[in-house]
A and B are shown apart, each in its own frame.
Chain A
Amino acid sequence: MRLRDLSARLREPRPYLRDLRSRLRELWGISRFRLTTMYGALFALGIVALLALIYWQTAGYMVRQLDDTIRADAQTSLTQAPEQVDDWIAGAMARDVGHVKYYGLFAPDGRRVIGNILSAPSVLKIGAPPRQFALDPSQPPDIRALAVKLQDGSTLILGRNTSQLRQIRSIILHALFWSGAVIVVAGLGLGAALSAQPLRRVQAIGDASARIREGDFHARLPISPQKDELDALAAIVNAMLDEVQRLVSEVKSASDSLAHDLRTPLTRLRAQLHRIDQQPDLPDVHRDMLEEAIEETDILLTRFRALLRISEIESRERRSGFGLVDLGEIAGQIREMYGPVAASRDIALDMQISPTPVVDADKELLFEAISNLVDNAIKFTPDGGKVKMRAVPTPQGPRLEVTDTGPGVPAEERSAVLQRFYRGSREGSTPGSGLGLSIVAAIMRLHGFELQLQEADPGLRISVNCWPNWAEA
């Protein structure tokens, strides 16, 4: 498998809507399919050549045989006495039960004396080798004949039916057609069948890679019992992933414990600064500096809290706080909570909440996630813009969408914005921990809900499929 194909496949969002053409192109990309098809084509060519050779040889041999027979016939006719030739012809025709012989005896004035050839065909020249002609222009030229001049000046035409040749040709053509069709169909079928397995494996590898790319470092590439070159490659990648996972978890636990350890002294620092701030006799210039310091400390604390919040959510027991949650109720609270925030910046908060079935979720966490999404959307929407929240029922369950009219997120940054501390190009000087979406992602992982980022042109649409999909999570 070529790596470029693989990476192109990985970049594609979902393989559902692939048309037949690209499906074939994809099949073609598989070496086994390519080999089988090429082998089939070569085989078909070989058969065609073989049959053509057989036909050519057989037809040639038969024609030579016929010509010899006709010449022998002509020799015999020349040995007859001229006045007995018509008797000889009549006798030969009478003995010809298979109606394969043709004769025509024409007097020197062109009048037909005897025979089943009614008029002398112009193609036949006296003394020329046997030629093919049709008795009647509406029929195929199935007669091979030659003309001889008898001693009395009359012309004798002797011929044989060659429709056998045509029949053999048609038999061989039929054989060619059917065997060709069988070879092509069987070759393609066999190729596809043989490629199905590698294709499935590539698909499985693609799915596993997609999970890894989305941050699930526990996922590994599947290894088949065949131990072929694909497996060898997968094993190498897996070993690499083990190392990456080890490093990531080391970094994560280091950053978690750092955040944890720093929180206490930071809180004390914050308290101390606050206490100084409470002193009534503080000069104004110092108070301003002090308050800046307090603000910075608060930002640090917010970030550490968010970081620890993520690891707290990640280490949570699945389903411990789960229950049935009504998205409509959550949406109502969100509107009440964020309506004034949006209004204060002249942003329209548009809610389109269709009645949807209840969702199996942790209400507090789901609310936290949705409020983070709306908070983010408002944050990145310029004043006077619009934030839209939609809940729509789908066959699998409710789907929730939050769309803003902000600068959006470039496609290549979309999975990165879900990672911790990633502050994309759109963030600029926007306040925040840069962890809002990471918290949302952690909550969705806990639920097994799929989180998608799409271009809303302009802006960003984040949607949540509110049904568990563990394979994708």
Chain B
Amino acid sequence: MAGSPRALRNAEVTVTRILAIEDDETTAREIVAELASHGFEVDSATDGREGLVKAVSGDYDAITLDRMLPGLDGLAVVTVMRNTGIETPVLMISALSDVDERVRGLRAGGDDYLTKPFAPAEMVARLEVLLRRRRAPVAEAILRTADLELDAMRRTVRRGGRELKLSPTEFRLLEFLMRNSDQILTRTMIFEAIWGYHFDPGTNLIDVHMGQLRRKVDTPDAPALIQTVRGSGYRLRAPA
């Protein structure tokens, strides 16, 4: 990923800074290593108080926050942050996977929630989505990738000027892919974003839906835009 256009663009403009608040040493090391390998600059804190001080004073693009911390716990940290007007996107990380916990974390001001143990790639993918949302806080009405154009207001999709007929689900799926183009989206992220549920959907649900969308979007005569990233998920990307 180091050579991806995204990383290059980041390097040109400004370095993306992430704060990792995590008390477990191994997990913290893992997070730092993974983020650094994706070209992020990472700062870390090992307890809630230190994390909160850094979050309030430093200039970070996103924060990963452990839910259970000694001293001040994750929920309190994010609550205080939001109350003092810090709007930095927060990815809550927790060993508690129950829906109630997720709801509590998001209600306190977290932007996304990831259950331990997690695949580092999943964490990066989720952070990327949060960063993207922060960079473009106002949702664009018309999205473009190569010759694919999606009008979110009029709910139309065109590829090379030809209109595509998509079902509502396919439309939502494509919109999610296009709003996060160039980013890897895991199956779990897609399932949560499209249907809003948080369980293991089983079998090959996402693959079937993606296959259906792909048949309509990627016709044999045009270059493929929807890519399967082996071992991770999917990505919509303009051909190089």
Nearest A residue to B98 via CB reads: A312
Tell me the count of chain A residues lying within 8 A, CB to CB, of chain B: 40
User: SS class of chain A's interface: helix, strand, loop or mixed?
Assistant: helix
**Residues of B in contact with A, size category:** 20 to 34
Task: Write the nearest CB–CB distance from B195 to chain A, whole angstroms.
Answer: 6
Any chain A CB within 8 A of the CB of B146? no
Render A257-279 as a binary contact track against B, CB cut-off 8 A, 1 for contact.
00000011011101101100110
Nearest B residue to A306 via CB reads: B200
In angstroms, Cα B1 to Cα A379, docked, is: 36
Residues of A contacting B117 in the complex (Cβ-Cβ under 8 angstroms) = 263-264, 266-268
Task: Write the nearest CB–CB distance from A270 to chain B, whole angstroms.
Answer: 6
Known: A263-B117, A271-B119, A271-B120. A364 touches B230 (CB 8 A): no
Q: Are B231 and A341 in contact (CB-based, < 8 A)?
A: no
Pick the residue among A277, A338, A364 that contacts B231 (CB under 8 A): A277
In angstroms, Cα B200 to Cα A372, docked, is: 9
Interface residues of B in 183-211 (CB under 8 A from A): 195, 197-205, 208-209, 211
In angstroms, Cα B117 to Cα A264, docked, is: 5
Any chain B CB within 8 A of the CB of A291? yes
Task: Write the nearest CB–CB distance from B71 to chain A, whole angstroms.
Answer: 24
Any chain A CB within 8 A of the CB of B156? no
Render A158-193 as a binary contact track against B, CB cut-off 8 A, 1 for contact.
000000000000000000000000000000000000
Nearest B residue to A316 via CB reads: B98
Nearest A residue to B211 via CB reads: A344
Any chain A CB within 8 A of the CB of B239? no
Q: Are B119 and A375 in contact (CB-based, < 8 A)?
A: no
Q: Are A274 and B168 in contact (CB-based, < 8 A)?
A: no
Task: Write the nearest CB–CB distance from A33 to chain B, whole angstroms.
Answer: 53
Residues of B contacting A264 in the complex (Cβ-Cβ under 8 angstroms) = 116-117
Most buried by A among B121, B204, B208, B212: B208
Residues of A contacting B201 in the complex (Cβ-Cβ under 8 angstroms) = 337, 371, 375
In angstroms, Cα B115 to Cα A263, docked, is: 11
Nearest A residue to B115 via CB reads: A305
Q: Are A432 and B203 in contact (CB-based, < 8 A)?
A: yes
Residues of A contacting B168 in the complex (Cβ-Cβ under 8 angstroms) = 336
Task: Write the nearest CB–CB distance from A383 to chain B, whole angstroms.
Answer: 14
Render A364-384 as a binary contact track against B, CB cut-off 8 A, 1 for contact.
100110011001001100000
Q: Are B232 and A375 in contact (CB-based, < 8 A)?
A: no
Any chain B CB within 8 A of the CB of A431? yes
Residues of A contacting B99 in the complex (Cβ-Cβ under 8 angstroms) = 321, 364
Interface residues of A in 374-399 (CB under 8 A from B): 375, 378-379
Q: Are A308 and B97 in contact (CB-based, < 8 A)?
A: yes
In angstroms, Cα B201 to Cα A379, docked, is: 13
Render A121-141 as a binary contact track against B, CB cut-off 8 A, 1 for contact.
000000000000000000000
30 contacts between A and B (CB under 8 A): A263-B117, A266-B117, A267-B117, A267-B118, A267-B119, A268-B30, A268-B117, A271-B30, A271-B34, A271-B120, A271-B121, A277-B231, A312-B98, A320-B100, A321-B100, A336-B167, A336-B168, A337-B169, A337-B205, A338-B205, A340-B209, A341-B208, A344-B208, A344-B211, A371-B201, A371-B202, A372-B202, A431-B203, A432-B203, A436-B202
The 7 A-B pairs at the shortest CB distance, nearest first, are namely A267-B117, A264-B117, A368-B199, A375-B202, A341-B208, A271-B120, A344-B208
